[in-house]
Amino acid sequence: MQRVLHWLIRHWAVTATLLLLGCGALGYSLAAPAPPREIRIATGTVPDSAYTVAAEAYAQRLQATGFRVRRVPTQGSVANLEMLRARQVDVALVQGGIADPERDAGLESLGAVFAEPVWVFLHADRGLERLADLRGRRVSVGPEGSGTRVLALALLAANGIDATEFEPLPLGGAAAAAALAEGSIDAAILVSASISGGVATLLREGPAQRLVDFAEFAEAYAVRLPFLSVVRLPRGGVSLAADLPDRAHTLLAPVASVVAHQDIHPQVVSLLVGIMQEVHRPRTLFAAEGTFPNALAQDLPMNADAERYYARGRTVLQRWLPFWVAVWVERLLFVLLPVLGLALPLIRFGPALYAWQMETRVWRHYETLRRIEAEAERDPDATARAALRGRLEALEGRVARLALPVNYRRHVFALRRDIAYVRAQLDPAGPGVDAQTR
């Protein structure tokens, strides 16, 4: 072991190079891989739906950053979760109350982005006042795979009505509005963050289609369905000119979240959360400016990188550099930091180690010279003296062949003077006579 250490010290340049390469390899192995170049986003099938609009906004900004974005049309939140679990998409919007932490293990939330009010419209002329009156009725609850259907069934179940006690119809949006207007159904339950499509149509139908006000039952619903929050539709919120609606309404709303796999790249998370803030920070009818996105009331665990972003914002590099440049610099720093941590002390002690290495090439010959001198002091006979002189000549030849930088040649000359001194001791007349002769 000592010989190995001695070799490592003697060959410090090789050792330093190996250590630096090892640290660089370690840093590279620990550094996160580069982000993927393609991201698959689940989008809605209705052009003006909040999910489709938001997903398209994300896609356009990701493409502007340099990603390839593949848009995958889906039927809604339930289908989005299924595709996330099957890894058919990377990012999707999911309605609150749909995800299950055990069933959807491995998925994480990147933050809530907007409230999605529940719009319950009833035929005013059929004696219907609230959800509890829908037993035995024909009700539009949204298509299979949609979050609307899951939420509608949960609302009716909270009123003691299971799926066998009414006729659920897979209608949504404009189709549900048309069916309610023509009287082929008794009620329509819609979930929409924007007042457009079927919601806008039914609000403009006037008193024939009555929008349910949840003001008196909001707290009771919140106890039974805690993923619902209370939002207010102000009087004139749809149209001030038409005084639509003609009074304020209290609505119930789940919150939509952006969901991704737990192994999503950390820098993609930072980029996405930044995009979400840009898209969803402005004021809306149901939220003050800056309310969304946020990390509150999530069905799934919050992604740790997203949580850090909400707390601290973007990194300095991401703030000042284009995304892909910041990615490259951050990965390079991750590799170089351990190398620099080792290189600085090596640079500091390198000259001393180099000097020690050069001088050691001379000093190691002193051990041979010391042994020859010790034997010369024992008053050897003529044959032994001749042998010692031969050893001295061989030693002097090896020393003369040493190739050292000019700064260290003085050590060679000093050793040759010492060799001459020992040779003088081997002279039959002794060192003093030799000195007088010279």
Task: Express each pLDDT in 166-225 by its tens digit.
Answer: 999 999 888 998 999 888 999 999 999 988 888 888 888 767 788 999 999 999 998 899
Can you tell me the distance from the alpha carbon of 111 to that of 301, in angstroms, rounded to the nearest whole number?
10
129 and 110 together in one domain:
no
Choice between 437 and 301, residue whose per-residue pLDDT is larger: 301
Can you tell me the distance from the alpha carbon of 209 to that of 203, in angstroms, rounded to the nearest whole number?
8
Band of pLDDT at residue 340, cut at 50, 70 and 90: low
Question: How many of the other CB atoms lie within 10 Å of CB of 437?
Answer: 9
Q: Could you read off the pLDDT of 79-120 as tens digits, one per residue?
A: 999 999 999 999 999 999 999 999 999 999 999 999 999 999
75 and 152 together in one domain:
no
Judge whether 339 lies within some domain: no
Q: Structural domain tally of the chain?
A: 3
Can you tell me the distance from the alpha carbon of 238 to that of 18, in angstroms, rounded to the nearest whole number?
71
Residue 371 has pLDDT above 90, yes or no: no
Judge whether 278 lies within some domain: yes
171 and 209 together in one domain:
yes
Can you tell me the distance from the alpha carbon of 438 to that of 434, in angstroms, rounded to the nearest whole number?
6
Judge whether 319 lies within some domain: no
Instruction: Look at residues 253, 277, 292 and tell me which one is the last residue of a structural domain.
Output: 253
238 and 264 together in one domain:
no
Q: Which of 214, 216, 190, 215 is nearest to 203 (CA)?
A: 190
C-alpha distances (whole Å) from 72 to each of 52, 64, 75, 107, 191 are 10, 19, 10, 18, 21
Q: Which of 135, 190, 186 is nearest to 164 (CA)?
A: 135
Residue 438 has pLDDT above 60, yes or no: no
Can you tell me the distance from the alpha carbon of 234 to that of 352, in angstroms, rounded to the nearest whole number?
79
CA 121 to chain centre: 43
Enter the pTM of the model.
Answer: 0.70
Band of pLDDT at residue 432, cut at 50, 70 and 90: very low
Band of pLDDT at residue 314, cut at 50, 70 and 90: confident
Exposed / middle / buried, residue 38 (Cβ in 10 Å: 0-12, 13-18, 19+): exposed
238 and 121 together in one domain:
yes
Q: Hey, is 138 helix, strand or coil? A: strand
Residue 149 sits in which domain range?
117-253
Mean pLDDT of 390-396: 85
108 and 122 together in one domain:
no
233 and 291 together in one domain:
no
CATH number at residue 266: 3.40.190.10
365 and 431 together in one domain:
yes
Q: Could you read off the pLDDT of 296-311 as tens digits, one per residue?
A: 867 899 998 898 888 8
136 and 37 together in one domain:
no
Q: Could you read off the pLDDT of 123-176 as tens digits, one per residue?
A: 878 888 889 999 999 999 988 878 899 999 999 999 999 989 999 999 988 899
Phi, psi of 235 (to 5 degrees): -60, 135
Phi, psi of 281 (to 5 degrees): -70, -35
